[in-house]
Amino acid sequence: ASKSMDELVALCKRRGFVYPASEIYGGLNGFWDYGPLGTALKNNIRDHWWKHMVECPPIGPDGNPVSIVGLDSSIIQNPKTWEASGHVGGFSDPMVDCTETKKRYRADQVEVLIVEGKGKWAFMENQPDTIAKKLKKAGVALDDGERKLLTDLDLSEYATIVAPDTDKPGTLTEPREFNLMFDTTVGAIKSEDNKAYLRPETAQGIFLNYKNVVDTMRVKMPFGIAQIGKSFRNEVTPRNFIFRSREFEQMEMEWFCAPDEALQWYDFWKHERMRWWKTLGIEESNLIFRDHDDDELAHYSNACVDVEYKYPFTAPGYGELEGVAHRGCFDLTQHQTHSKTKMEYFDQPRQLAAKEEGKSKEEINEVSKYIPNVIEPASGLTRAVLVLLCEAFTPDESRASKVYMKFKPKFAPVKAGIFPLVNKDGMPEKALSLYMELREKFTCEYDAKQSIGKRYARMDEIGTPFCFTVDGDTATDDSVTVRHRDTQEQERVNISQVESFLAEKLAD
Ligand code: ATP
């Protein structure tokens, strides 16, 4: 598994999907830059989510499309936001400090290895290879049990020996809580009063604007507010490529509804989100639901389920891709308390219906005035990029490229390569004119460099589903060769049909 991850990370670098951030300065742990192709892939996923959340939202249980509006809120908000949301007090990971090396680790990833006659070693976070090497250097031979401990560590992917200790793992302090929010200063004076935070999730920006949206848009219960954007978490141990990074993008939607309908909507969004992930072309058996146990739920949450994917580093197990949570009225109530702004919703259709049923004044009030409940599907856009990269990565020794990226055509960064077979006899002119026509509709690349075989190989590696080649026959039959990425088969298509050919292949 880690071998294929290494190969994937190498391909991502080599072909311009993902680069380590500030690489020329040695990088910065937990930060990544998306290259030209990674940006295109990310935008494709982002647009698909926006389209199916905001522009063409799914059909609800009543047979009509549900109503969702979009938002783009500020990354830095009034710091009181994060007190109300619970992030200042509670958004933390247990952490231990190693007093010798001054390094910090997540407490749950600390392992202690007992080596006969050598005392205890506390280690974690590094390739098991590195541990083995360090042990060897220290002249430590491992027995089978100890070796197994190391192998088990493979599950957490990385582990480092932080300190050899002669008696007990006393070099590690007691676990303490470490807040994951990045803070910064607003204004010229650096003081506690001017401290602000980079948002650790996009959701709170939605809650802060709930009232604005109700007051200014023609929305009525139930409805959703969707947002895509960057979030920041000072993760103690960023790892597994872009799976857990310190700066990442989220796609979140807060669905507001009457309290007595919340469970039904929770169920609706749970299944709707799974259906959506499958439209990305992800193999069904690689996706599962994982319902949270009662003791895993946040105190305010009534139910929560994760959509999980079988990543190469979790296989045969699965890891989180999206969480769908029933958050009750926790968030709006918190903001009501902290901001003194009323978040109660007046539900006129319910009031009228209750009146018609001849309900008492108290009963009418009870059903028509409420703080909405919230169902939250929260996913990672950059994590979705990783999923599509893992899903597409297909080793194939028979090809010149040895590997190809089998993206569903709709999500491929480049939809079509347009080539002249050779750089003469009017072929470049014809290919260029085809390219100029197609680029208005699809992301295409014109390429006339190197041999045709090399051009196909590069397109395989970046996952371009179709290549159109103008050759010697084009001048007489007005056709081009189309090469299919997955089968490597070639067929002839009339130039005038290329656009409709592509449109059909790229449909949902
Ligand atoms: P975890 O338990 O793995 O830390 P979480 O449950 O705190 O994650 P949420 O707060 O529910 O995650 O965030 C929603 C989604 O945002 C996650 O499902 C994931 O796709 C994405 N996400 C969260 N943290 C990160 C991160 N550090 N890097 C990349 N994506 C992330």
CA distance 494 to 482: 10
Long-range CB pairs of 390-397, under 8 A, 24+ apart, other chains included:
390/8, 390/309, 390/311, 390/312, 391/281, 391/282, 391/283, 391/286, 392/463, 393/4, 393/7, 393/8, 393/11, 395/4, 395/7
CATH of the domain at 493: 3.40.50.800
Question: Based on the domain organization, do 126 and 202 belong to the same domain?
Answer: no
- 148 CA to middle of ligand 1, Å? 30
DSSP H helices, 51-197, are: 80-84, 87-90, 128-137, 144-153
Instruction: Give the residue, by CA position, lying nearest to ligand 1 atom 27.
Output: 244
The token pair that represents 345 in the structure block: 């919703």
251 annotated as a binding-site residue: yes
- 56 CA to middle of ligand 1, Å? 26
Domain boundary among 129, 161, 177: 177
For residue 410, is it within any domain? yes
Atom of ligand 1 nearest to the CA of 245: 28
Q: Which residue segment(s) compose the domain that 156 sits in?
A: 92-177
Per-residue pLDDT of the chain (508 residues; tens, 9 = 90+): 566 899 999 999 999 999 999 999 999 999 999 999 999 999 999 999 999 999 999 999 999 999 999 999 999 999 999 999 999 987 777 665 554 444 454 544 444 443 333 333 444 444 445 555 555 555 555 554 454 444 444 333 333 333 333 333 334 655 667 788 999 999 988 888 899 999 999 999 999 999 999 999 999 999 999 999 999 999 888 889 999 999 999 999 999 999 999 999 999 999 999 999 999 999 999 999 999 988 788 777 889 999 999 999 998 899 999 999 999 999 999 999 999 999 999 999 999 999 999 999 999 999 999 999 999 999 999 999 999 999 999 999 999 999 999 999 999 999 999 999 999 999 999 999 999 999 999 999 999 999 999 999 999 999 999 999 999 999 999 999 999 999 999 999 999 999 999 999 998 7
The 3-state DSSP class for residue 126 equals: coil
Cα 467 from chain centroid?
29
Atom of ligand 1 nearest to the CA of 246: 27
For residue 82, is it within any domain? no
CA distance 386 to 286: 13
Domain boundary among 121, 143, 177: 177
Question: Based on the domain organization, do 228 and 322 belong to the same domain?
Answer: yes
Question: What is the tally of structural domains in the chain?
Answer: 3
149 annotated as a binding-site residue: no
Question: Based on the domain organization, do 156 and 243 belong to the same domain?
Answer: no
Strands (E), 191-286: 195-197, 223-232, 247-257
In order of 156, 215, 270, 302, the CA distances from 456 in angstroms are 38, 55, 41, 52
Question: Based on the domain organization, do 58 and 141 belong to the same domain?
Answer: no
Atom of ligand 1 nearest to the CA of 200: 10
Question: Based on the domain organization, do 267 and 129 belong to the same domain?
Answer: no
Instruction: Give the residue, by CA position, lying nearest to ligand 1 atom 3.
Output: 320
Which of 244, 245, 322, 381 to mutate to test ligand 1, by most ligand atoms within 8 A of the CB atom? 244
Question: Based on the domain organization, do 326 and 284 belong to the same domain?
Answer: yes
Is the CB of 322 inside a 6 Å radius of any atom of ligand 1? Answer: yes
Question: Based on the domain organization, do 186 and 172 belong to the same domain?
Answer: no
Cα 471 from chain centroid?
42
Is the CB of 249 inside a 6 Å radius of any atom of ligand 1? Answer: no
For residue 17, is it within any domain? no
Is the CB of 320 inside a 6 Å radius of any atom of ligand 1? Answer: yes
Is the CB of 200 inside a 6 Å radius of any atom of ligand 1? Answer: no
Question: Based on the domain organization, do 416 and 286 belong to the same domain?
Answer: no
List Cβ neighbours of 409 (8 Å cut-off, separation of 6 or more): 415, 465, 466, 505, 506
For residue 33, is it within any domain? no
- 250 CA to middle of ligand 1, Å? 8
Instruction: Give the residue, by CA position, lying nearest to ligand 1 atom 1.
Output: 320
Provide the angle, in degrees to the nearest 10, between the axes of the packed helices 381-392 and 36-50.
Answer: 110
Question: Based on the domain organization, do 197 and 328 belong to the same domain?
Answer: yes
Question: Based on the domain organization, do 420 and 386 belong to the same domain?
Answer: no
- 249 CA to middle of ligand 1, Å? 10
CA distance 243 to 182: 19
Is the CB of 244 inside a 6 Å radius of any atom of ligand 1? Answer: yes
455 annotated as a binding-site residue: no
The 3-state DSSP class for residue 279 equals: coil
Question: Based on the domain organization, do 56 and 192 belong to the same domain?
Answer: yes
CA distance 267 to 270: 5
In order of 24, 35, 54, 337, the CA distances from 15 in angstroms are 18, 9, 32, 51
Residue pair 163/101 in contact by the 8 Å Cβ criterion: yes
Instruction: Give the residue, by CA position, lying nearest to ligand 1 atom 24.
Output: 244
Question: Based on the domain organization, do 202 and 335 belong to the same domain?
Answer: yes
For residue 346, is it within any domain? no
Is the CB of 248 inside a 6 Å radius of any atom of ligand 1? Answer: yes
CATH of the domain at 306: 3.30.930.10
Domain boundary among 146, 177, 208: 177
Read off the amino acid at residue 95: M
For residue 19, is it within any domain? no
234 annotated as a binding-site residue: yes
Residue pair 410/44 in contact by the 8 Å Cβ criterion: yes
For residue 146, is it within any domain? yes
- 380 CA to middle of ligand 1, Å? 6
The residues facing 106 across adjacent strands are 95
For residue 26, is it within any domain? no
Q: What pairing do the DSSP bridges indicate for beta strands 223-232 and 68-71? A: parallel
Which of 18, 276, 320, 322 to mutate to test ligand 1, by most ligand atoms within 8 A of the CB atom? 320
504 annotated as a binding-site residue: no
Is the CB of 382 inside a 6 Å radius of any atom of ligand 1? Answer: yes
